[in-house]
Structure 1
C-alpha cells in the first residue's frame, strides 16, 4: 500500500515536540491560485526550526498538481466541485479517470490516512484567492464549531456557501464533523495575498494551541495585518443569491466590481448571453468572476445581525429542530443524517431564514420539495470541547 503521508503532495510536514492538534493546510485546489502554496513553502520550513515549541502535527498539502503546473484553474473539471458522496462512490468503478478525479482520489486517501493516525482535534484549512479585488475573508459551512473558531480571525466571515455550490472539499469534510474553514486571501495577482496567507497560517496555529505567543512574538503583527486589510468588515455575512451560467453561455462581469462592494437593486452588473444582468437585491457583491474558467458569475451577500447569530446558537443548543416534523409539510427524509423534506405547498409559511437559524441549508429542490441538510448533528463537538476557542 502506498504511503501517502510521504508523497510529493506534501509541501512540508512538521511533527511538534509536544502532543497537540493536527492541522491540515490545503493550497492550490485551483491551479491559478498559487498564493497558498507559496506561503506554505515559506512558513513551514521556517517553523521546522522551532518544532520543539510546536504542539501536534502540521501538514501543508498541494491540491491540484497538474493545474498548478499549467497555471490553470483546472484541467478537466473543477476539483473543488467534485466532493459529492454519490459521485465519489462511483469513482472506484471507473476505469478511466479525468485529471481532477485522480487528484481527488489521492487527496482522499491522504486525508483518510492522516485521520486514521490521530485521535486529537483535527483542523482543515483551505487556501484560495479571487479573480476580483477583495478584502481577505473566511468562508464556512454553517456549523457552530466553524463559527466559534472562525470568529477569532479579524476578517469578514461568509456563511451558507454550501447552499449554492455542490461539491466543495470543505463541505465533504464538514459532513464528517470536523472544523473546516476556507480562507480567501485576496486577488490572484496581488502579492499581499501571499502575506495574508502567511499571517493566517500563524494565527491558525496559535488559535488551535499549536504555538504560543511567548515563542512567536510576531503573532500580534500577523493579527494586525489581517485586521487592517479587512477595514471595518469584521462581520458575519450570508449568501442570498448566486448568478450561475452554463458551460456554453457567454458571461462577462462589468469592469471594476470588488468583493464586499455595496450594490443596489436594479444595478447593471454583467452581460449574460448578450442580456444585461441587473442586481435582484440591494446588498454587497461577492466574488464577481473575472477569469475565463468557472460557472459562478457572482454572489450577493447580506450582513447577519448579531442578535440573529446569538438566537441561532441558542436554538441549536436546545435542539429545537427536533420539533420541526410536527409542522405541516415537514418530515424526515434521512433522520440519522438530519435531512429534512419540506413540502413547499403546505409549508409556505416557513421561510428559508427560519431553517437557517436552526442550521438547515437547502441541499436541493425537486419539484415542490426542498431537501435541507444540517451540519450540527454530525459535528464532533467532543473533539473540540476542551479547546480554548470553544
Structure 2
C-alpha cells in the first residue's frame, strides 16, 4: 500500500486541542499518537502527576485496562491456529469449574431461580462475550447476580481481580449464568476467563505466553502485567474524579500501587501496561493481516474473523450504553458497523481502556490512533477528550 498522508497544519490543531485539556486542568498528562502509512505523529503534553513537574513523555508506560482485551484475543487465536483450542468445542475439560451451568430465569431473578444451560460454554462464547455472565449494567444492589458478583470479588473494575486465577474461577463457577451461552452479550468477564484458559491450554502462565508469542516478536519491550522497579519512574499516577468535587484523586500510585509488583491474577480483561509505541506495534500487526514486516503473529484469516462483527442486531441494541449505535463486537475487539461521525470508517476496530486510554485501527484509511491519559473514565460514555482526539485525528487525514 502506498504511503498516505497527514496534514502537518492539522496535526498542529490536534496538539493544541490536547494541550487545552492540560491547561484547563482536566487531565494531568496526555500522549496522543496518529499513524498513517509511513507517517507517525506523537504529541506528549502535561505532567506525570497532578501538580507535578515531571513531564509526560513518549515512552511513558500507561495502564491500558481494557485495551488488553484485543491482545488476549490474539493470544487465544494463536492457540486456535495451532489446533490446541477450537472455537466451538466445549471448554469443560480445560475449565471444569464452568461445566454443568445453570441459568437465571431473568436478570433480576433470585440466584436459585434457574434452569439448566442448553449447551456448554465455548471459546467463541468467551471471545464474543456471550458466555452468559459479565458486567451487570444495572445500579449496584438492584439485582441478586450483580450483588453476588460484588461480594465474590468478581465484578469488573479499574483494578484487576486480586485473587489467584484458580480461586477466581471457582468463585465464578458457583454463580448461575445470567443468559444462556451464546444468547446475551455481557461485557468483560469473558476476557478474564480467556486469560485462565490460555494459561491452562498452553501450559504456560499468561504473561509468559504473551511475552514469547506476541510481545518479543513485535518488539513490545514495555508491555507486561506489571512495571519493574527500574521502570517505575515512567509509570504515572492513575486518577479518578472526586466523589463530590471537581478535582482528581489517586486511584493507583506508581510506587507501591497495584502495577508495581507481579499480580496474582494476570487479567486478560484489563491487566496490561504499555507505551503508545508498543501498542502501535500490535495495531500495525493487526492492520497488516497478522504480520509486521517478516514477523507473522496470526494468519490473515484469524484477523478477518476477529474484526468481523459477530453480534445480532438485538445484542447490539441491548448494549448501546457500551457499544453506542455504531459498533458491534468481533473476537476481543469492537467493530464499527456504520459511520456516525468524522471518525471511524466502517470496519474500524479497537477498544477503549477505562483508566483513560483509547486505540482504534482503520483499514480503509490505513490509520491507527492511540490516546493515553492517566484519568479514569467517569462513565461508559466516551469522554470529551476521546471524542476530540478522534475528531482531530481524522480531520488531519490529507489525501
Structure with more relative contact order (C-alpha pairs < 8 Å, separation 6 or more): 2
What is the TM-score when the length of structure 1 is the normalising length? 0.25
